[in-house]
Structure 1
């Protein structure tokens, strides 16, 4: 399966781009009554990709006084306990729901944006030669934290995983997630008769789910070709900076007024639509994560460039500070006091002031 094709179809439906659908292996999107969309099996329109494991969710041992059962895969992972099993299930579900298109309540839209954004960035990092290895690892941990946090997951799941190089592992047991998910899918496809009351798809469909889940995982690990945001008329330069992080880093280092000019050109363009707006939000959060993350004082140059057009300056500053909470965590990590940047606070809207002051 080519994940890029699926990702383009995801964006096509999510932002109502109106492009012809492109088929991909074994799955197709179907619209839901609540105005969202899920991946369905091509041969089985009543079963969604994210739903096939619903009945396989392990019992929660936290609500049992003396849990006395073993994990389903204990024969393959003898150091796995029933608490770990539940956490690994939550991760599987989180990864699979990356494909879901949900029309969220406005108060949940930030989480939806952050999860989508972090998934895309995790796929980019391996090719970001403008960062050193330490910086890439810092951002990999940062993006994966928010990928889980924005799902959202419980605190136990949020802190259960780490990267060993590019391999995502369950920290406590050192189990490779790629190995675990492979064994998980193979077990159920080979033992379907034991689980007839819980499974409603065929072995070849479980294998299709395995292939897709592993592709999503490898993209998160940065082992697959990086994802690309599709082109749209008038967005070529902006998309170049999104799809090639090195270009953003280089442009900011060599001639940041050119970068700011691209932002200015977008704001002066009246051809707004949901996809164009999403791309601009991504560019600004890239500026946060790849520039301000390592040198927060760069924000002074941004404000100096735009302060002559206060409406645009206010728009950019508030996108940066209220579209996502990346910068909030970054400031806490680096003990940055925003009150020492009155030139920035000057352009805060009411929401930004409520959050940061």
Structure 2
């Protein structure tokens, strides 16, 4: 008797909307503050993201399942998955407006610090939504990507990530690839400045090759920055000039979250040069991965980073796990906290980099002293 073939189904399908919990957390904090009368309720979002989620991640464990290639076209075409990313944006902006309103009321020093972290974490994680949308060919999704980037003022990421990082990843020439022995705090100024300079060079070169001035509305950096300027101006009109301090502080927190994720994604990994002197093609060995189910759901499977670099147009629901990819010991939420503490980070990660290269540090992307 021939066994019946069971059709494959996405067991994570009902879980993907959980990604919208992140922009919903500030509203949970608002309700908690109203119920308790304490401004310390504004620490709820950082506590959940940086404390509770890592614990859940550990308890739930890994999911190594990959979708069969024959179902990938249908998965890619499904509007269900796209709408989840689209819905993140109105929730993100609603949270930003609400936190601005709380800021100008004066939540106290402790509440203000929690409020900055709250908005910064939401908008920093929104950069991941922008990342998912910005890789797609559809014009709508590319514009939505810039809208998601506007609250952090990091619109140049749209250019640098797609046309800079994906070309130079895991090489010393990439400002977003961290080096073995480089602390996050040393990496941060290098990547912030380097990514901005690289993005501007890439975009101005694109316009000059077409015989036109880069000072144009068609400049993807300038039109993204205009969105930020208009957003901040509108919020200043609505809530007064005092809100600008909040907007700047939360933006710094937001893009620092992005750069912390960049830091851990390729730490110490290096593409070797071939006989022609060129860097080898990007493959699954050049990104740190994690199959932790919880953080993959919250981050649209960003942690399956190797497949993303090999196939940037693949949508999050179709990304695969590879056995040859180097694996992080925990999900991104845990590793982000670890990255902020250099001695702990190096104790955990440096041996893993060396093991990946069979003990030969000369094969790694190393910090040059």
Tell me the TM-score normalized by structure 1: 0.27
Would you tell me which structure has more helix in proportion to its own residues? 2
